[in-house]
Amino acid sequence: MGLGDGLTIRVPGDKSITQRALILGAMAHGESRIGAAPRGADPLATANALRALGVPIHGLDGPATAPIRIEGPGPRRWRQPRSSVDLHNSGTGARLLAGALAAQPLSVVLRGDESLSRRPMRRIAEPLRRMGATVEHLEGGGVLPMRVAGGALREIRHDGRVASAQVKSAILLAATGAGVPVEVREPRRSRDHGERMLEAMGVQLREGWQDGAWSVRIDAPPGRLAPLDMDVPGDFSSASFLLAWAVLAGQTPRLTIRGVGLNPTRTGFLAVLKRMGVEAEAAERGDAGGEPYGDLLVAAPERGLRAVAVGGEEVTGMIDEVPILAVLAARAEGVTRITGARELRVKESDRLAALAVNLRRIGVRVKELPDGLEIDGTSRALAGRVECFRDHRIAMAFGVLGAAPGCDIPVDDPGVADVSFPGFWRLLERVGDEARGRDRSARSTKKEQSRCPVVAIDGSAGAGKSTTAAAVAARLGFRHLDSGAIYRAVTLALLDSASGAGEVESISTAELEALGIDVHWGDAGMEVRIRGERAREEDLRAHRVTAAVSRVSAVPAVRAHLLELQRSAAEGPGLVAEGRDMGTVVFPEAALKVYLDADPRERARRRILQQGGAEPDAAEVEAEVARLRARDARDSTRVVAPLLKAADAQRLDTTDLDPETQIERIVQLVARALKQARSPLPAP
């Protein structure tokens, strides 16, 4: 298989590695740099917990391309937090932090959200107590909330009953933090991200099989840990969903995923794919923080998928990939048997139960075993709604299956994918579109646009896009499509409907139809209608609509429903289409795409003036800048239709431009784009 022929993508950074890097950076002495760290919910929860413990962490609010910097205060220098420390949904964060806290002379209560508070903590608490820390489950049951009071620890040897990278890391962190030797043994070899990072920070480890157990020893922990300087590789588990997509997509070209972590304790899924008849390869390219990384290549099997048996040691190296393996098994020939995966019952959900229930719901025969599943593959059409149980991997696994030919599988909670893979649904859609070539609707768009030039305008809040788009349209005699007004009309109609907007995430096509949203073009421009009645501007801009519209517009079914309506606006001499996804989804072939931006202070100033305020002073501007930044971060990281500049959009910085100049610039850009479109470069 060669690189370059077919699709090439990247996936977000590995969150296990990121969370370990954050905690180890906070234990180190000096400044650590963690590049390409994903800003998903779990890493943010861990970083915020460390901040609450007095560790300065910078760059978290920046884009994922900007590095995170951690000022490691050195050994046992964390501060007593004022209240309990919340790890939200991060199991890795809670368990590893418990280990690191065992070495700190503090008394800290760790808590988590409802789902994390059901996950077992006793397996961490017990060895930490033997080391000399006080660990109490404040509400019993061996779960969170849990108080960890640490300090001087003693050496132990831990014989784990199950292989668990989190337990192993917690004990290694406790020992390293306290400066005492330790040995951790486990029946199978679990992931070794912690060990690799500790080595990169100057800790000497001795590892190997001994009397049937995998043993990791630290004999002489150093007084201080050297800071880390690394770029987080792409998450193999996230990549595995796309590998599976390529396998299921049928006539797909080859898929290459670049820069993925290839730690051998994580890549067990590749061997299983090969046994299923898939051509899959990993090409190592380098090393970061002790972690190997490289490119993954996969091609769909020519003769269909074969069922496999997976169990024992092999499952440990692909435990997170069991959900995606289960959906592949649904499409394989024969019965796939997965065993040795009991651990999955205590993940974000009881994954074995969640997989069994959902596979049955879509028409797959499946038997649930105490520690696994037996799945009878089928080539019949699979359809039905699946329940995610707040579990990102369940959502993504069925999302991948739903994207395969002959499957119609809506998931009830797509947003949960955000936990480990922000942008998952967008990427799935993109690879799908690319693999199919240009899909039907894009072709119809192209036809319409050959008659009607489209200018797509988008931009950050306060950059002046609405007024600019309207004025440009007026100057050119084009229609002005205000897509935000259409999303507002849907929201208004929903709020006024019997069911309200409460369950919009599960809205059906029929219910969307029934809202009766339409657009009419008259002398005064665009008019949005709700069941034939013009929606009034003041109703569309009412506070209750503004408060609900971002949730409504994040629902994929709503967006899909509005697609053709928006495309039908491209008629007449030309169209200025304003809003979120105009240049990426609705009019991907727009003649010109403009992305308006401005210095945050200027954007803040304009917003205050726009809302009817007087010329603001510096403090008012700063306060608005903070609100804008928070909104930018939310807007650009949301899963569905995030605010992002289209790759081929021209960025126009309007900071120093008065409105008239701004409009003039865009009109000139339009003229140039239209001229180029009329006279394409002669063929060589």
User: Segment 537-566, which members bind ligand DC (CB under 6 A)?
Assistant: 549-550, 553
Residues in the interface with ligand DC (CB under 6 A) total: 12
Q: Binding ligand DC by CB under 6 A: which of 246, 248, 641, 663?
A: 641
Give CA–CA dist 684/307, Å, rounded: 51
169 binding ligand DC? (CB under 6 A): no
Number of Cβ within 10 Å of residue 43's Cβ equals 28
Sign of CA dihedral 544, 546, 551, 554: positive
Least distance to ligand DC, CB of residue 358, Å = 29
Binding of ligand DC at residue 483 (CB under 6 A)?
A: yes
Q: Which is nearer to ligand DC, 296 or 454 (CB)?
A: 454
Among 487, 602, 632, 649, binds ligand DC (CB under 6 A): 487
Q: How far apart are CA 137 and CA 139, in angstroms?
A: 6
Q: Which is nearer to ligand DC, 485 or 492 (CB)?
A: 485
Give the whole-angstrom CA distance, residue 290 versus residue 461: 41
Decide whether 11 or 528 has the Cβ nearer to ligand DC: 528
Region from 300-308, 440-448, 573-581, 592-600 binding ligand DC, contact rule CB under 6 A: 573-581
Q: Which is nearer to ligand DC, 425 or 487 (CB)?
A: 487
* Helix count and strand count (H, E) for the chain: 23, 30
| 320 catalytic per annotation | yes
Give yes or no for residue 478 binding ligand DC (CB under 6 A).
no
Could you say which of 347, 426, 488, 607 contacts ligand DC (CB under 6 A)? Answer: 488
Q: Which is nearer to ligand DC, 319 or 582 (CB)?
A: 582
Shortest distance (Å) from residue 483 CB to ligand DC = 4
Does the footprint of ligand DC cover residue 580 (CB under 6 A)?
yes
Distance in angstroms (rounded) separating the CA atoms of residues 489 and 205: 62
| Cα gap 342→442, rounded to integer Å | 46
3-state secondary structure 38-60: CCCHHHHHHHHHHHHCCCCEECC
Task: Please say which residue, 340 or 579, places its beta carbon nearer to ligand DC.
Answer: 579
CB of 656 to ligand DC, least distance (A): 24
| Short-list 365, 361, 392, CA closest to 376 | 365
579 near ligand DC, judged by CB under 6 A: yes
* Beta carbon of residue 238, minimum distance to ligand DC (angstroms, whole number): 25
**Closest separation in Å from C-beta 484 to ligand DC:** 2
> What is the DSSP pairing of strand 182-186 with strand 213-218?
antiparallel
Whole-number Cα distances in Å, 345 to 124, 167, 273, 350, 405: 18, 17, 23, 4, 30
Residue 398 CA to residue 404 CA, distance in Å, equals 10
- Do 387 and 357 form a contact (C-beta atoms < 8 A)? yes
Closer to ligand DC at the Cβ: 485 or 590? 485
Instruction: Determine if 593 is a binding residue for ligand DC (CB under 6 A).
Output: no
Per DSSP, what are the bridge partners of residue 35? Answer: 231
Task: Return the closest-CA partner of residue 135 out of 179, 181, 175, 95.
Answer: 95
Which of 681, 478, 684 is CA-nearest to residue 592? 478
Select which of 320, 458, 581, 597 is catalytic.
320
- Region near ligand DC per CB under 6 A, out of 53-61, 376-384, 579-587, 626-634: 579-587
Residue nearest to ligand DC (CB): 484
Catalytic residues: 320
Contacts with ligand DC by CB under 6 A lie at: 483-485, 487-488, 549-550, 553, 579-581, 641
